[in-house]
Structure 1
Amino acid sequence: MRRLSAATVLTTSLLLVAGLLGALPTSASAAPDRARAATAAAPAAKPKPAPLRYTPDQGVRVNNPLGDAAARRRIIGHLLRTIQSVPGQEKIRVASWNVRSDDIANALIAAHRRGVSVRVVMDRLNANKSNVNEGVNRMQAAFKKNEANRSAAMRSDVRKCVSSCRNRGGIAHTKFFLFSKAGKAKNVVIYGSNNATDLAAYGQWNDVYTITGKAGIYGEFEHVFDQMRRDKPVKQAYESHEHGKYTSYFYPYRGKGAEADPLLRDLDDIVCAGATGGTGTNGRTKIRIAQTSMHGDRGKAIAERLRTMWQRGCDIKIVYAVFGNNVLQILRNTSRGPVPIKQIAQDFNLDGVYDRYLHMKTMAVSGHYRGNTAAQVTWNGSANWTSVALASDEIVMRIFDGGVRKQYADWVDYLYAHPPKYSNNPVVQDQMETRSLLARRSLVARGGNPYAGIQVN
């Protein structure tokens, strides 16, 4: 078998009806010396829709499924406007664990029809006979049209990887979007925790980071995408590339240079004391983590390291969705008291099953890292802190940038201070919180799983 087991969750898609601009018929007038006669005329050809003039800007975006429409759609709106701003003869490349949004499917189909080469890679688990994906089916049908006059490099298609696209085992879990041109920007890379789904906007807390105008970075993402599209194991699956403040890590973590856990290696390079230059907290390195999932042997090893760092004085706060019981036990039992953690997962309809949940995978560090006592560095991307992640297609990016670090750290601090109602945090705030707690206990007593609605992928 090539695949490790992974849960599938059907998400609700919002149906959009696209208005088509019809052409007005022409009419003919009679000769001056003859009576007028009505004549039928063929409709004018429909012009190809012009792309929007949206230029994606570089930087961090996070969404909030509990906010207003703008807050919920902050990422998906950015993706849609970027897709809609790609002119004909340019390229769009999408690598996403799942594609399940009519908005995104419609935008990609429209881009193909105006002459854009659109290629999508996803995990087959999310589009097959037993898990029907109508949006993907529509894209596949549409991409087969208008292909006769295109070169091989400009054709559009959808590929479904059997497991990890570039390795045997794992899953096709990465999330990145490439645009050769959008508006005035070239070589646009958008990556992070956000899948091309409606669930990502309305049921999850997500992030993406946008890079523009970096041909080298774009080329490396495109190279990995082309390998994924072939759905064949590659000898050197793990790649890392450094471009100034950016360092990319492409998993599967297999091949030369993949001897030690990359996250544990980075954690080992963080020193809790000696933060200078206004970084850290009172001379102690400050760490803010937002992580969907941490469990299993790898999760326990990471938790042990975080506990040690907490005991050595690091200022740590963690928000999460699903941590294993062993991981929680490690983090809660230290010589300094529990590591500060808050669950960001909400049982919105009080049936005992979490409906909305944190889906980010980020760590922001201010302080002493790799000998730099005033470092400001962030890791973000698609990888959970599990063993499955190391065997899967993932993107992790390390960014040395004070502003980026602050944005991520501030967002973690906000979520920590404002966890959603009806979650599993210790303080029961009101009668509804009590009902949520009792619903979860009742569900567990009946053999149910409160985490059944959480798709950690």
Structure 2
Amino acid sequence: MCGGRAQVGRDGTHTCRRVAHRAHVTRIIGSAVAACLILAGCSRPGDAEPVPTPAPSTTAAPTPTPSTSTTAPAQAATQKVVFGDPWSRNQHRVHAVVESALSIVNATTKGQTILVAIFSLTSPEATDAFIRAHQRGVHVQVVLNAVIANKPQVRRLRAALGTRRSARSWVVVRGGDVRMHSKFLLTSGRGKPPVVWVSSGNFTNADGRDQANAALITRGDRQLYDFLATQFDLLSHSVNDPAQLGRSATTATSVVQAYPLPEGGAANDPVLRFLSDVSCRHGTDQTTIRLAQLLFRSERGYLVPRLRQLQADGCRVLLIGHMRGFSKDVQQALTKPGSGRIDLRSTQGTILHLKVTTIDGWNTAGQRIRTALVGTHNLSGRALADMPGQGMNDELTQVTTNAGVVRSFDTWIDDLIRDHSAPVRYR
């Protein structure tokens, strides 16, 4: 992964090159990678640089996972983050997340393949882009959440692409008992580097107008593409077994984890694991932890003591959210006076739809870390595993150590707190 090796191009894209493993890997990463290999649910890290925070261990899927070739030449991979700014007067900035996906779609040529897994599709512009791609000979394959199966834009897309999986293009609805909340778009073929777009937002006008969202775009990471292409196949076949769906992989740029897991709870929580190896002080320097979350439900309330402990230990913990998505008991536990009280902030004027946690500081071994956990995964029970009476979701988390990308997330969260939030008082 990139870590401190990122190179920033003139267009703001952050480039990393795959390098050999370091001889000294932190204990937590060593155990995470070993667990992945034993379970066969992860690809081998190969020559990717070690990640400072591990993916959660899960039951492995019997489906193929990416493999690393030790003889293939090193390839450049880039990552770039795009933010949708609903407070802006510039409509391109408002709808930047959807437009970033449509730019990828519009760049495809005859013989390429587009794979799309999306929770909601109501944007005519997105439907038009997929239909045009199909008409110019691109293989367009789409899996949609069942709730939107009869929406007008879905009917248009189904009429244009058809529903026969034996055809080169098709639209299917994700069946079964799992709500498809994943949001990703993949392109490949014709000798072009694979492109992976993972977003907190959907293909809707509300995605930009009423919500603050982000998309992480990765180019040239074949392992990441292959992992998500396999996940797409599971979704399109309506696989419901968490033992098959809860897969993970370490790739050239990312640690990626799919959900639901066979079991939830603190022992399998990706955010709690992400925050487990943190040192709050390094000499006179301070670690900063930032969270921007749409939801924070009671069933994930065990995260609160960890956040307060980090704050009490000297970390700077910044948490902004959409309070309609935060359980009242969670709000109270975060803001209750006393050691480790969190300065909780609520966005004003629009919905914060992000699912982001970042660390800028040091781990317990005294190593400098700058990393982000992003994707579609809300802090709710059903985002992690099956919840009685609620069900479960298809989700994704993606961990990156690309310094430029993480810095962009940090700056965006700081700007939201400064310009578009108000404090949440303890009641």
Class of the TM-score when normalised by the shorter of the 2 chains: 0.7 to 0.9
Counterparts in 2 of 1:197-276, with a 5 A limit? Answer: 197-234=204-241, 235-254=243-262, 260-274=268-282
> With structure 2 as the length reference, what TM-score do the two structures score?
0.74
* Residue 217 (structure 1) shift: 1.2
Aligned counterparts, 1:181-192, within 5 A: 185-192=192-199
- Mark the CA change 1:370 to 1:387 in structure 2 (over 3 Å): closer, same or farther: farther
1:160–1:212 Cα change, 3 Å? same
Q: d(CA) in 1 for partners of 2:347 and 2:311?
A: 21
CA separation of 1:255 and 1:317: change in aligned 2, threshold 3 A: closer
Distance in 1 between residues matched to 2:210 and 2:364, nearest whole Å: 37
* 2:276 partner amino acid: D
Letter in 2 for 1:385: L
Aligned partners of 1:311 and 1:334 also within 8 Å: no
Contact 2:234 2:245 in 1 (8 A): no
For 2:135 and 2:366, how far apart are their aligned partners in 1?
Answer: 51
Distance 1:237 1:255 in 2: 12
Does 2:87 correspond to 1:66?
A: yes
Q: Is the 8 A contact 2:143 2:172 kept in 1?
A: yes
- 1:286: which partner in 2? 288
Aligned to 1:30: none
**Runs of 4 or more off by more than 6 Å in structure 1?**
255-258
Aligned-pair CA distance for 1:266: 2.1
1:247 to partner: Cα distance:
0.7
Cα distance in structure 1, aligned partners of 2:264 and 2:423: 42
How far off its partner does 1:340 sit? 1.8
Residue in 2 that maps onto 1:393: 394
1:376-425 superposed Cα distances (whole Å, 9 cap, x missing partner): 111110000110101321110111122222111111100000116xxx64
Residue in structure 2 matched with residue 143 of structure 1 by the alignment = 161
Aligned to 2:329: 326
Q: Report what 2:307 is aligned to.
A: 306
Cα shift at 1:114: 1.1
Task: Note if contact 1:236-1:256 (Cα within 8 Å) is conserved in structure 2.
Answer: no
Contact 1:238-1:256 at 8 Å conserved across structures: no
Structure-2 change in CA distance of 1:337 and 1:216 (3 Å): closer
Structure with higher Rg: it is 1
CA 1:105 to 1:216, structure 2 compared with 1: closer, same or farther past 3 Å? same
User: Counterpart amino acid of 1:297?
Assistant: E
Distance in 2 of aligned mates of 1:337 and 1:286: 14
Shift in alpha-carbon separation, 1:293–1:369, aligned structure 2, 3 A: same
Shift of 1:336: 3.9
Q: What per-residue deviation string (whole Å, max 9, x for no partner) do you get for residues 191-217 of structure 1? A: 020212111111100001111111111
Gaps of 5+ in 1: 1-55, 277-281, 347-355, 428-457
CA distance in 1, matches of 2:137, 2:377: 33
Deviates more, 1:250-259 or 1:390-399: 250-259
Q: Structure 1 residues 239, 283: closer, same or farther in 2, change over 3 A?
A: same
* Structure 1 position 286, deviation (Å): 0.7
**TM-score, length-normalised on structure 1?**
0.69
Shift, 1:103, TM fit: 0.4
Partner of 2:415: 414
RMSD: 2.6
Specify the SS of the correspondent of 1:174.
coil
* DSSP 3-state at the match of 1:62: strand
Work out the CA distance in 2 between the residues paired with 1:257 and 1:358. Answer: 25
- 1:330-358 deviation per Cα after TM superposition (whole angstroms, max 9, x unaligned): 11014246412211142xxxxxxxxx200
What secondary structure, in the 3-state scheme, does the structure 1 residue paired with 2:99 have?
helix
SS of alignment partner, residue 293 of structure 1: coil
Partners of 1:137 and 1:370 lie apart in 2 by: 53
CA contact (8 A) 2:266 2:302 kept: no
1:79 is matched by which residue type in structure 2?
A: A
The aligned residue for residue 26 of structure 2 is none
Is the Cα–Cα contact under 8 Å of residues 148 and 154 in structure 2 kept in the other structure?
Answer: no
Q: Aligned residue for 2:373? A: 379
Counting aligned pairs with the same residue, the percent is 26
Q: Which residue of 2 aligns with 1:89?
A: 111
1:259-291 superposed Cα distances (whole Å, 9 cap, x missing partner): 5222222222223223x7xxxxx4221111111
Shift in alpha-carbon separation, 1:257–1:93, aligned structure 2, 3 A: farther
- Give, in whole Å, the separation in 2 of the partners of 1:417 and 1:344: 10
**CA contact 1:290–1:360 (8 Å) conserved in 2:** yes
Relative distance call for 1:238 and 1:258 in structure 2 (3 A) is farther
Alignment of structure 1 residues 144-163 onto 2, 5 Å = 144=162, 152=166, 155-162=168-175
Of structures 1 and 2, the one with the larger relative CO (CA 8 A, separation 6+) is 2
Rounded to whole Å, the distance in 1 between the matches of 2:308 and 2:149 is 40
Of the three residues 76, 84, 100, the one matched with 2:122 is 100
Q: 1:108 to 1:258 in 2, by over 3 A?
A: farther
Matched residue SS, 2:153: helix
Shift of 1:155: 1.8
Shift of 1:367: 1.3
CA distance in 2 between partners of 1:400 and 1:77 (Å): 25
Equivalent position to 1:193, from 187, 196, 200? 200
**Is the 8 Å Cα contact of residues 318 and 341 (structure 1) preserved in structure 2?**
yes
1:113 aligns with 2:116: no
| SS of residue matched to 1:106 | helix
* CA distance in 2 between partners of 1:388 and 1:264 (Å): 16
- Counterpart of 1:124 (choices 110, 128, 146) is 146
Structure 2: stretches of 5+ with no match in the other structure: 1-76, 386-392
Alignment CA distance shift 1:93-1:136 (3 Å) = same
